[in-house]
Amino acid sequence: MLEYKAVWYGSRLVVAPRSYASSTTCSGCGSVKETLSLDERVYRCRVCGAEIDRDLNAARNLASVAGSSPETVNACGTAVSPVGNDGPVVVIQESERVSTFR
């Protein structure tokens, strides 16, 4: 259903692996807790000391996964070329419409 809706709206769907520990991974430093019971509503990291609502922590981790997925289509709907080691290149596409104001 999500894939269908993403195509329908021209969106990109990024699916995290089923085994991804979004709730037990610290969104601050990336350390993973061994266990996190369902009654623990606040995630407390023993490594960096972060304290955050467990659902917000998981949401930040999933947003990070989605943001790290490379874009395959640009804003104009055309395929994106792979970028070399020099980093991204900014290209401004000008409109082909010509208007004359007199």
Digit-coded pLDDT (tens) for 13-67: 888 888 889 999 999 999 999 999 999 999 999 999 999 999 999 999 999 988 8
What pLDDT sits at residue 42?
95
Q: Which two tokens stand for residue 92?
A: 């401004």
CA-CA distance, 57 to 77, in Å (whole number)? Answer: 33
Residue 87 in this model has a pLDDT that exceeds 60: no
- End-to-end Cα, the chain, rounded Å: 53
pLDDT in tens, 5-14: 888 888 888 8
Look up the pTM and report it.
0.60
CA-CA distance, 49 to 28, in Å (whole number)? Answer: 9
Q: Which two tokens stand for residue 83?
A: 């970028």
> For residue 73, what is the DSSP state?
B
